[in-house]
């Protein structure tokens, strides 16, 4: 496979995925991805993206429960 950014070669590996939103920071380590050997850009497969999106949605729900609502 070829990197969309620099056209370098992609190889299987792992990377961290970081989310900063709604007042929280969420980091998932060792996420499987295709990593560009030239620029380091990560490309995630569709099922990995779906799993990350589910995690983030659950985090959003949990954070929403923690936020105090005005009386």
Q: Which domain holds residue 32?
A: 10-62
Number of domains in the chain: 1
Residue 42 counted as domain residue: yes
Residue 70 counted as domain residue: no
pTM over the 0.75 mark = yes
Distances (CA, A) of 45 to 3, 21, 51, 61, 69: 14, 23, 10, 25, 38
Q: Which residues, 6+ apart, have CB-to-CB distance to 6 below 8 Å?
A: 36, 38, 39, 41
Q: Answer with the residue of higher pLDDT: 15 or 62.
A: 15
Q: For 41-58, what is each residue's pLDDT tens digit?
A: 999 999 999 999 999 999
Q: Answer with the residue of higher pLDDT: 6 or 71.
A: 6
Q: For 3-19, what is each residue's pLDDT tens digit?
A: 999 999 999 999 999 99
């Amino acid at each position: 496979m070829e990197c969309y950014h620099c056209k370098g070669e992609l190889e299987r590996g792992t990377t961290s995925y970081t989310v900063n939103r709604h007042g929280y920071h969420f980091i998932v380590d060792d996420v499987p991805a295709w990593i560009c050997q030239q620029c380091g850009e990560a490309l995630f497969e569709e099922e990995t993206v779906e799993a990350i999106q589910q995690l983030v949605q659950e985090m959003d729900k949990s954070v929403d429960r923690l936020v105090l609502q005005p009386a």
